[in-house]
């Protein structure tokens, strides 16, 4: 059986794969964090035996493969009113309890086949850059800096061409009806001059002058690459700001074999069997690795390039489920 760990609500990367699992008649169960909270599914955990039963079925005995897709991150429906006594502390305590229960669930199921392995769902961007460099991929000069003096030196070393981005990754903030996103931004002399002498540790990178950008979806050794073409020289630094523009085009792309070998070597060292890699082909013809997201969105590239990646993911899950059944 296949266990899908995802959001309770609609999620662009999950639901299309579920559709294919239903089409193929696969034996699977989907569980969200809110399922565990709301009683929507019947489950119990036998701590001593190391098993979890969902709707009466033993996950230890019946599950062979687990697809982890944004299980954490969805707001928990805790049903705690704001005016309740100790509401803030109650919310924190319940979240902590659920975190430990889920960690135990992961421990119980650690011997199963995971896509990706749960401990690799949150990667450190700085560690990934170092690993990519060791695997032979070209990476931009990168520094975490805290002072204007250091930044001025690095700015000069990189030909006054830098960008800055969050270490953790893109996030968003909601303020009533408005939503604000964090994007990669260029570093200008005016920006540097506006900074205090010392500031919060911030990631700065050499800005690679892109001929075009490439999104690579990696699935267990296979690379599905999409080139993002935009002839507008004034395009934004962050690709996400260009995606909806009419002059932006997504086309299937074949990475050179040498590059695919390096990508596989990197993903092996990072212990990732799935992920979305952002790569730039710069004006000199170099392929420059930017980052990898184990849970990145892939549906847009899949649709525009007819890759049917959601179908590939479903078939991967079914194949490993059948392999397990044949062995056992």
**DSSP structure string for 145-156:** EEEHHHHHHHHH
The residue ranges of every structural domain in the chain are: 2-119+317-327, 147-206, 210-294
Q: What is the topology classification, in CATH, of domain 210-294?
A: D-amino Acid Aminotransferase; Chain A, domain 1 (3.30.470)
Cα gap 226→59, rounded to integer Å: 37
Q: What is the mean pLDDT of residues 137-159?
A: 96
Q: What is the mean pLDDT of residues 258-271?
A: 97
Our CA angle for 211, 215, 217, nearest 5°, is 155
Our CA angle for 44, 45, 49, nearest 5°, is 135
pLDDT digit string, tens, across residues 175-223: 777 777 788 899 999 999 999 999 999 999 999 889 999 999 999 999 9
pTM (2 d.p.): 0.87
pLDDT digit string, tens, across residues 311-327: 999 999 999 998 766 65
* Mean confidence (pLDDT) of the chain: 88
């Amino acid at each position: 059986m296949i266990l899908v760990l995802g959001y309770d609500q609609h999620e662009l990367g999950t639901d299309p794969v579920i559709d294919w699992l239903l089409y193929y008649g696969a034996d699977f169960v989907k569980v969200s964090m809110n399922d565990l909270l709301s009683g929507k599914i019947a489950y119990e955990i036998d701590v001593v035996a190391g098993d979890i039963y969902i709707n009466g079925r033993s996950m230890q005995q019946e599950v062979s493969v687990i697809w982890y897709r944004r299980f954490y991150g969805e707001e928990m429906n805790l049903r705690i009113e704001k005016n309740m006594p100790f509401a803030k502390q109650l919310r924190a305590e319940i979240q902590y309890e659920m975190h430990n229960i889920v960690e135990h669930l992961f421990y119980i199921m650690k011997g199963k086949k995971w896509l990706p392995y749960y401990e690799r769902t949150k990667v450190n961007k700085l560690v990934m850059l170092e690993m990519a460099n060791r695997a032979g991929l070209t990476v931009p000069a990168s520094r975490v800096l805290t002072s204007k003096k250091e930044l001025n030196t690095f700015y000069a070393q990189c030909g006054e061409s830098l960008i800055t981005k969050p270490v953790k990754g893109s996030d968003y903030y909601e303020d009533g009806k408005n939503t604000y996103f964090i994007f990669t931004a260029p570093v200008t002399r005016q920006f540097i001059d506006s900074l205090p002498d010392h500031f919060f540790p911030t990631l700065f990178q050499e800005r690679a002058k892109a001929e075009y950008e490439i999104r690579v979806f990696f699935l267990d050794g296979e690379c599905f690459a999409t080139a993002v073409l935009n002839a507008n020289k004034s395009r934004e630094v962050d690709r996400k700001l260009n995606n909806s523009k009419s002059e932006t085009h997504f086309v299937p792309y074949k990475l050179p074999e040498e590059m695919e070998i390096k990508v596989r070597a990197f993903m092996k060292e990072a212990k990732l069997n799935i992920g979305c890699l952002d790569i730039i082909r710069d004006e000199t013809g170099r392929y420059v690795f930017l980052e990898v997201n184990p849970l990145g969105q892939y549906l847009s590239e899949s649709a525009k390039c007819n890759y049917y990646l959601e179908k590939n993911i479903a078939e991967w899950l079914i194949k490993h489920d059948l392999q397990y059944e044949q062995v056992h």
